[in-house]
Amino acid sequence: MQNQYTPPAAFGGKRYYSLYEHLKHKFPVRIGKAVIEGGFSCPNIDGTRGSGGCRYCTGASSVARAYPPITAQCLQELQRIRKKWPSALAIAYFQSHTNTYAPLPRLKALYEEALTVPGICGLSIGTRADCLSPALISYLAELSRRTDLTVELGLQTIHDETARRINRCHTLYEFSSAYKALTAAGIRICVHLINGLPGESEEMMLESARFVASLRPGGLKLHLLHILEGSSFAEDWRAGKIQLMEKETYISLVCSQLELLPPQTVIERLTGDGDRRLLLAPRWSRDKISVLGGIDKELIRRGSWQGKYFAGTSGASNTETAIFK
């Protein structure tokens, strides 16, 4: 019954473990995300593993752009964040493309420069499983001992046939190997999944969530497939070859995925933010507040919560388990 549910204190009254609550436990002030462009390419853009990039991505056209120095970007982002929260600190988020796809000296220079900016309290580095050399992992392990570090791994789906369909250009085996190496090095990982990829049933998406649950990652980002102008999928969508998820179906699926996940995994995103200038569909995704509110209401309607059906709840072993005691 609904009235029998008592959420863990770390949920902050919600029915899942949000990034806001996670950061509130770790830092004495509000934390924002400073989105930083490192000028990186990607191995399935430049021809190393493939060309054109993932089919939902518009990034292939932006690789050659020139960006301001890292320090200038950090300061600009801090200024933006502090308009809302004047005393906030920020995590420098290297987001676009593959942010470990460069020689190690260059990576060190970029990451270390970000950390010298007053107000930057950590790093979040988005990357692919096939761009994590042993030398880089060793450096990231050292980095994680002196700052708040998260490596964000784009899995998107566990199904290799879907991976081929979206031109991901690396396998589940490669992901699993990279995840194991990062975990052994003590590095916090946030995994990305995309719901609604062409050819996937709801059960396939739940299978991806079950697999991620078995890994017990520090964080998880759930995204919705967006059709963006300039992506390879845009043409297929216009031709009627891609069936997109309806809002109610997406909300129900996300709630079912949350039920499968460890309660210690931080839910860092529940729906993606498609670039409004490029977003073709689904149009309902523009109203993020409505989607998030719908997830809250559906969990309440079900009398459910993150981890309700997680098989390993009683044996959870996670660096954040202590805050649930």
* Residue 272's pLDDT band (cuts 50, 70, 90): confident
Question: Is pLDDT of 315 > 60?
Answer: no
Q: Report the Cα–Cα distance between both ends of the chain, in Å, rounded.
A: 23
Residue 63 or 310, more confident: 310
CA dist., res. 223 & res. 211, Å (int): 16
Task: Give yes or no for residue 61 having a pLDDT over 90.
Answer: no
Is the pLDDT reported for residue 75 higher than 90?
Answer: yes
pLDDT grade for 6, boundaries at 50, 70 and 90: confident
Q: Which residue from 284, 269, 199, 270 is spatially nearest to 233, judged by alpha carbons?
A: 199
Q: What's the confidence (pLDDT) of residue 320?
A: 39
In terms of pLDDT, which residue wins out, 97 or 273? Answer: 97
Q: Measured on CA atoms in the order 33, 20, 186, 222, is the torsion positive or negative?
A: negative
List the Cα angle 81/87/92 in 5-degree steps.
Answer: 45
The SS3 assignment for 158 reads coil
For 1-15, 234-248, 281-295, which range has the lowest pLDDT when averaged over its residues?
Answer: 1-15
Q: Which residue has the higher pLDDT, 8 or 271?
A: 271
- Residue pLDDT, tens place only, 160-219: 999 999 999 999 999 999 999 999 999 999 999 999 999 999 999 999 999 999 999 999
Q: Whole-prediction pTM value?
A: 0.93
Is the pLDDT at 325 greater than 70? The verdict is no
Do the bridges between strand 227-228 and strand 279-281 make them parallel or antiparallel, or are there none, so unpaired? antiparallel
CA 312 to chain centre: 23
Q: For 233-263, what is each residue's pLDDT tens digit?
A: 999 999 999 999 999 999 999 999 999 999 9
Confidence band (pLDDT; 50, 70, 90) for 316? very low
Average model confidence (pLDDT) across the chain? 92
Q: How many CB atoms lie within 10 A of CB 159?
A: 18
Of 182, 173, 196, 115, whose CA–CA distance to 153 is shortest?
182
Please, what's the b/e burial string for 44-78 (b: 16 or more CB within 10 A of its CB; e: otherwise)? bbeeebbeebbbbbbbbebeeeeeeebeebbbebb
- The token pair at 158 is 């566990």
Cβ 278 vs Cβ 272: under 8 Å: no
101 sits in which H/E element: none
